[in-house]
Amino acid sequence: MISAGIDIGSITAKCVILQGDKILAYSILRVKPNLEESAREIFEKTLELAGLSKEEVDSIVATGYGRGRVDFANKKITEISCHAIGSHFLIPDVGTVIDIGGQDSKVIAVENGKVLDFVMNDKCAAGTGRFIEVMANALGLKIEQIGELALRATERLKISSTCTVFAESEVVSYLSAGKKVEEIIAGVCDAIAGRLIAMASRVGIRREVVLTGGVAKNLGVRRAIEEKIGFGVKVPPEPQIVGALGAAVLGSG
């Protein structure tokens, strides 16, 4: 049984091809305005990496905001269920999934891979990957540099977490006041973590806490979250593909 999971998010498209409990291949691409095209492209690219043809794939499950636009999928499941299943597949004793995606973030209470409860941010980019992108841009940094820079900070500046646009102007004013870039960045990571933990408290934080989504790779955010909850979190080797992996697991029966 070979199954594929395709996760069309707001910023990136992800695809995982799975055989039994073995990941044959995965890939991540930036989405294009044409979601159908993005879905086909990511699927073909992953097939190529796995050395497979379309016909060899028994089931295709789509997830993410663009799931409805993956016309060749057999099934469409929300990213909530997929993140729960994908996290459980990688880390069986997961109790809470914190997924920080490009356009939204969500906290899912999980038990044996089943969703018990969930909460998502609404109509606001603060607390999402986009928030970090905007701040990185304001500071003239690459997104990959953010995490490590944050760890170097000895002090953390306070950034409002209520609005991305206003937070950006705060960052700019800190810069003009001559504050250190790493201290500003540490403040940015702290702001996101604060918002996420407030959300997570609504569904309750239970061990193990697994971080997924692109922002999970950011060491600054990860550290800020760990400080706030008081214990270590687990991050899968490739946290960005957990939703697509969950979709592939669902497709494998």
253 binds other proteins (CB under 8 A): no
Instruction: Select from 108-116, 150-158, 186-194, 212-220 the region that touches other proteins (CB under 8 A).
Output: 108-116
Closest approach of Cβ 128 to other proteins, in Å? 12
81 binds other proteins (CB under 8 A): yes
Instruction: Select from 34-42, 118-126, 150-158, 176-184 the region that touches other proteins (CB under 8 A).
Output: 118-126
Which member of 7, 79, 168, 190 binds other proteins (CB under 8 A)? 79
30 binds other proteins (CB under 8 A): no
DSSP secondary structure string, 177-243?
A: TT--HHHHHHHHHHHHHHHHHHHHHHH---SSEEEESGGGG-HHHHHHHHHHHTS--B--SSGGGHH
Picking from 104, 110, 134, 100, the residue whose alpha carbon sits closest to that of residue 122 is: 104
What is the distance in angstroms between the CA of the first residue and the CA of the last residue of the chain? 9
State how far the alpha carbon of 137 is from the alpha carbons of 10, 105, 143, 169, 211, in Å: 18, 20, 8, 12, 24
Tell me which residues in 40-69 interact with other proteins (CB under 8 A). Answer: 65
99 binds other proteins (CB under 8 A): no
Tell me which residues in 119-148 interact with other proteins (CB under 8 A). Answer: 120, 122-123
- Using CB under 8 A, list all residues that contact other proteins: 65, 77-81, 104, 114-118, 120, 122-123, 202
